[in-house]
Structure 1
Amino acid sequence: MPKRPELDPQLSDLLAGMPDFPRLDRETLEQIRPYAAGPIEPILEGRAVDRREITIPGPDGTDLPLTIVSPPDATTAPCIYWIHGGGMVMGNRYSQIDIPLEWLDQLGAVVVSVDYRLAPEASGTDLVDDCYQGLLWVAAHAAELGVDPSRIVVAGASAGGGLAAGVALRARDEHGPALAAQVLIGPMLDYRNATTSSRQFSGEPGVWTREMNAFGWQSVLAGLPGKSVPAYVSPATATDLAGLPPAYIDAGSAEVFRDEVVTYAFRIWSVGGHADLHIWAGGFHGFDALFPAAPLSESARETRTDWLARRLTKD
C-alpha cells in the first residue's frame, strides 16, 4: 500500500478520540444505518425558518420525500438542492444538512433536501433517477417555493456529491433545469476505485476506505445489466464534460476520492469549463462534516460559501 499523506494535526487529535469505524458490509449495514443521520430539530433550533415536509411521486411512482427549509417570506431566493452522503447505502435527507443550512443563514437560500432510495434495496439508476425527479419538481414549483429559477444550485457531499454531478450531467443532456452551479463536496465519482489515493486508503483504520467504497459501488451496480455503467451513475465515466454549470469541487488530501476529484476538475478545464478545485491538505473524507469547528473545516466551509456567494450574486 502506498504511503498515506499525513492528517492535519488538529483533525488527527479529534479523530483519535473517536471509536474505530466499523467495517461496512451487508451484515453491518443495518446496524450502522440508524447512526448515519440524526434528527433535524436540534439543527433548526434558534433559526428563524419555515420548514415543510412533503412527498412527491418518484420516477416510478414510489414516494419521494423532500424537506424544504426556507427563510421567512422568501420570494426570489436562491435555492440549494441538497443530496446527502452515505456511500449510496445509508443516510437520509437530514444527513449533513447543516452544510446547506449555513447557506440559508448567510445567503438567504431556500434548502430542499431529497430522500432518494438507497442501495442495495434500490440500485442501478434508481438513486440518480430519484434525485433528478426531485430537481424537476423544484424547478417546476420555483414560484411556490419563493425561488429564483435562474439561481438553483445542485449540491451534495460524498455519495451526494457524485449524485449531484450525475444530476448536472442529466440536466445538460435532457435540456432540463438550467443550474446556476454545482457544489461537489468530496464526491463519489468513479466506480473503478483504482486511483493512487484509493490504494493509499485501503485497509483499516479509516473513515471511508477503499473496501467501504467498493461495497457502496457494488451495491449500486448490482442492478445494472451487462458491464456498461452510465455516466449519470458514475460521472467519472462521462465522455464529455462540456456545457456543465460552474463547479466547486473539493476533497481532502488524505482520502480515497482525492485523485478522482482532481481528474474530474482537470477534465472540465480541458473542455473550457469552470471548475474551482480545492484539495485540503491533511483533510480526511468528510472532515468538515464530522468536525465542523476544526480550523481546517472552518476554512473549507467559508471558502465554499464565498464561492457560492459570488456565483449567486445578481448583476
Structure 2
Amino acid sequence: MSYRYDADLVEAVPNFGVFDLTDPQATRAKLKAASAKKPAPDTTGVEVTDREVPGPEDNPQVRVRIYRPAGVTEELPVILNIHGGGFVIGRIEVDDAACLDIARRVGAVVVSVGYRLAPEHPYPAALNDCYAVLEWLAKSAPELGGDAARIAVHGTSAGGGLAAALTLLSRDRGGPEIAFQYLDLPELDDRLDNESMRRFTDTPGWNAPNALRSWRHYLGDAAGGDDVPVYAAPSRTTDFSGLPPAYIAALEFDPMRSEAVAYAESLFAAGVPVELHVFPGAYHLAYLVATARVSKRRVEERIDVLQRALHG
C-alpha cells in the first residue's frame, strides 16, 4: 500500500526491509555483525559498567549494563531500561546510545536488562528476568547512587510491553514501587485484532505478519487464545487501577499504534495520569533515522518527560 510517510523518512524506507523472525538465530547474527561495523557510542560524562545480578530460580544471574553520570554525588532517580526486538532478537547493546543520552541529560542511573529471548526462552522468562532486576534495583539503589523511591521503567517495542507487564506484576505481587512508566511504541496485545494491525501489513521494518511471528515465538500455541495471562499481554488486563503514571509514544504507521492508544485510554479511564503522543508520518523503525525532524522530536520529548517525571 501507499502511505503518507513524513518527508524526512521516505528515502530511508528501502533501507529497512523487514526483520526476519522465521529464523531468529540467523537474524541475531546478522544484526550483531552489522552493529560491529558501527562506531562505538560516545560515553563522555557517563560511567558504564557491566555486571550480573541475582535472577529468578531458573536463571540465577541476569546480565545488566549500568550507566551513571560521572562525578555526580547526589542520589539520582533510577531507570530500568528494557530493550526491544519482538521478544526475539534484541540485546543490551542496541540501546547503548539511548541509555547514554538518558543518563547524561536526564540525570539518572540507567540499568539496562539483558533478558532471555524467545523462542528458546518463552514467556515468562523475559518478564521474570526483568522482575528480578527490579527487585535487585530496589534493594541496591543506594549502592548505585540511586533513589529507590524514584524508580521508573522504560522500554521500546517489546521492551515497552515488558515494561507495562512489569508494572502490573509488581503491583499485584506487592513488589517494588514503580514511580513512572515510559512505554515507547509498546507491544501489548497478542490478539492482533485492531485497526492498525489490520491495515499495516507491509510497513518497513515491522508489520502485522512480524507481530504475529513475534507473539508465537513468545507465547507458543497459546498466542491469540483465551488463556493468555495479562502479564504476557498487558492489553488483556481489566484492572488498571493503582498503576504508575505513564507516557506512551506511538507512530502513525506502526501496526502497534492502535493497541498503544487503547492502553492509554484504559489508563485514563482508571484515573492513572497518562500522556499520549502519536507521532505523525512515522513507521516503527523511523527512530533509527536520527536526522529526521520527527525522530529528533521524539528524543527531545523523551528527555523532557523523564526529567519532569523524576526530578519534578
Structure-2-length-normalised TM-score? 0.92
Q: For the residues of structure 2 that align with 1:130 and 1:258, how far apart are their CA atoms?
A: 27
Aligned match of 1:213: 211
**Identity over the aligned pairs, expressed in percent?**
36
Q: For the residues of structure 2 that align with 1:223 and 1:147, how far apart are their CA atoms?
A: 41
**Cα 1:22–1:133, aligned 2, differ >3 Å: closer, same or farther?**
closer
Q: For the residues of structure 2 that align with 1:177 and 1:41, how far apart are their CA atoms?
A: 37
Aligned match of 2:242: 243
Cα shift readout 1:36-60 (whole Å, capped 9, x = no counterpart): 4536994543512222111123212
Aligned match of 2:68: 70
Q: For the residues of structure 1 that align with 2:69 and 2:30, how far apart are their CA atoms?
A: 28
Are 2:56 and 1:59 equivalent residues in the alignment? yes
Q: For the residues of structure 1 that align with 2:226 and 2:194, how far apart are their CA atoms?
A: 20
Q: For the residues of structure 2 that align with 1:196 and 1:42, how far apart are their CA atoms?
A: 39
The ranges of structure 1 where at least 4 consecutive aligned residues each deviate by more than 3 angstroms after the TM superposition are 35-44, 223-227
Report if the CA contact (8 A) 2:19-2:206 is conserved.
Answer: no
Q: For the residues of structure 2 that align with 1:34 and 1:71, how far apart are their CA atoms?
A: 32
Aligned match of 2:291: 293
Cα shift readout 1:63-88 (whole Å, capped 9, x = no counterpart): 31011111124440111110000000
How far did residue 309 of structure 1 move? 1.2
Name structure 1 gaps, 5 residues minimum: none
Aligned match of 2:111: 112
Aligned match of 2:310: 312
Q: Bigger shift: 177-186 or 94-103?
A: 94-103
Letter in 2 for 1:58: G
- Equivalent residue in structure 2 for 1:33, among 25, 28, 36: 28
Q: Bigger shift: 183-192 or 193-202?
A: 193-202
Q: Bigger shift: 69-78 or 211-220?
A: 69-78
Aligned match of 2:301: 303
Report if the CA contact (8 A) 2:203-2:254 is conserved.
Answer: no
**Cα 1:49–1:120, aligned 2, differ >3 Å: closer, same or farther?**
same
Describe the SS at the equivalent of 1:56.
strand
How far did residue 30 of structure 1 move? 1.8
- Equivalent residue in structure 1 for 2:47, among 22, 47, 50: 50
Describe the SS at the equivalent of 1:128.
helix
Letter in 2 for 1:24: L
Letter in 1 for 2:232: V
Report if the CA contact (8 A) 1:166-1:235 is conserved.
Answer: yes
Letter in 2 for 1:56: V
**Cα 1:127–1:40, aligned 2, differ >3 Å: closer, same or farther?**
farther
Q: What are the equivalent positions in structure 2 for 1:1-315 lying under 5 Å apart?
A: 5-16=3-14, 18=15, 20-25=17-22, 28-36=23-31, 38=35, 42-62=39-59, 63-74=61-72, 75-202=74-201, 204=202, 206-222=204-220, 227-288=226-287, 290-314=288-312
**Cα 1:24–1:41, aligned 2, differ >3 Å: closer, same or farther?**
closer
Describe the SS at the equivalent of 1:282.
coil
Report if the CA contact (8 A) 1:4-1:254 is conserved.
Answer: no
Report if the CA contact (8 A) 2:16-2:204 is conserved.
Answer: no
Q: Over the residues paired in the alignment, what is the CA RMSD in angstroms?
A: 2.1
**Cα 1:22–1:173, aligned 2, differ >3 Å: closer, same or farther?**
closer
Name structure 2 gaps, 5 residues minimum: none
Q: For the residues of structure 1 that align with 2:97 and 2:78, how far apart are their CA atoms?
A: 15
Describe the SS at the equivalent of 1:309.
helix
Describe the SS at the equivalent of 2:281.
strand
Equivalenced residue count is: 307
Letter in 1 for 2:100: L
Q: For the residues of structure 1 that align with 2:2 and 2:151, how far apart are their CA atoms?
A: 38
**Cα 1:187–1:40, aligned 2, differ >3 Å: closer, same or farther?**
farther
Q: For the residues of structure 1 that align with 2:70 and 2:189, how far apart are their CA atoms?
A: 39
**Cα 1:19–1:308, aligned 2, differ >3 Å: closer, same or farther?**
closer
Report if the CA contact (8 A) 1:287-1:297 is conserved.
Answer: yes
Q: For the residues of structure 1 that align with 2:2 and 2:140, how far apart are their CA atoms?
A: 47
